Chain A
Amino acid sequence: MNAEAVGPALAGLLPRIAGAGELQGLTRLTGGATKATWSFDRVGRGGERQSLILQQTVARAAPSGAGGKSAPKLTGSEDAQLMIAAREAGVPAPRVLHVLAPEDGLGEGYVTERVEGETLGKRVVGDAAFAQVRPRLAAQCGEILAAIHRLPTARVPFLARLTAAEELSIYAGLLAPYGFVHPALSYAIRWIGERLPPDDRVGVVHADFRTGNLIVHPGDGIRCVLDWEIARIGDPMHDLGVLCMRSWRFGGQGECGGFGSREDLYAAYEKASGRSVDPERVRFWEAFSNLKWAIACVRRGSSRTGVELAAIGRRLEEPLWDFMALAGARS
Chain B
Amino acid sequence: MPAFVPSAATLLQAAADDLERDVLPALSGLPRYRVRIVLNVLRLVTRELEQAPQADAAERERLVALLGGSDDALPALRADLGGRFERGELPLDDPALVAHLTAGLREALAIDSPGWTRER
Q: Which residues of B contact A316 (CB under 8 A)?
A: 108, 112
Q: Which residues of B contact A329 (CB under 8 A)?
A: 92-93, 98, 101-102
A250 to B30 alpha-carbon distance, docked (Å): 21
* Contact of B37 with A308 in the complex, beta carbons under 8 Å: yes
Kindly state whether residue A5 has any CB partner on chain B within 8 Å.
no
* Contact of A190 with B109 in the complex, beta carbons under 8 Å: no
Q: Mark the stretch among A13-21, A65-73, A162-170, A176-184 that contacts chain B.
A: A176-184
Choice from A30, A182, A184, A330 contacting B33 with Cβ under 8 Å: A30
CB closest residue in chain A, given B59: A183
Given A181-B75, A318-B109, residue A190 in contact with residue B85 (CB < 8 A): yes
Kindly state whether residue B49 has any CB partner on chain A within 8 Å.
no
* Contact of B92 with A191 in the complex, beta carbons under 8 Å: yes
Q: Which residues of B contact A88 (CB under 8 A)?
A: none
Q: Which residues of A contact B101 (CB under 8 A)?
A: 183-184, 187, 324, 329
CB closest residue in chain A, given B116: A318
CB closest residue in chain B, given A194: B92
A191 to B44 alpha-carbon distance, docked (Å): 30
Q: Which residues of A contact B117 (CB under 8 A)?
A: 321
Q: Secondary structure at chain A's binding surface: helix, strand, loop or mixed?
A: helix
* Contact of B93 with A186 in the complex, beta carbons under 8 Å: no
| Chain B, range 58-76, C-beta contacts under 8 Å to A | 75
Interface 1/0s, chain A 285-320, versus B by CB < 8 A?
000000000000000000000011001001111101
A317 to B117 alpha-carbon distance, docked (Å): 10
Kindly state whether residue A246 has any CB partner on chain B within 8 Å.
yes
* Contact of B105 with A320 in the complex, beta carbons under 8 Å: yes
* Contact of A314 with B81 in the complex, beta carbons under 8 Å: no
Closest 9 CB pairs of A and B: A186-B82, A186-B85, A183-B81, A314-B112, A329-B98, A317-B108, A183-B82, A181-B79, A184-B101
Residues of B within 8 A of A (CB): 30, 33-34, 37-38, 40-41, 44, 75, 78-79, 81-83, 85-86, 88, 92-93, 97-98, 101-102, 104-106, 108-109, 112-113, 116-117, 119-120
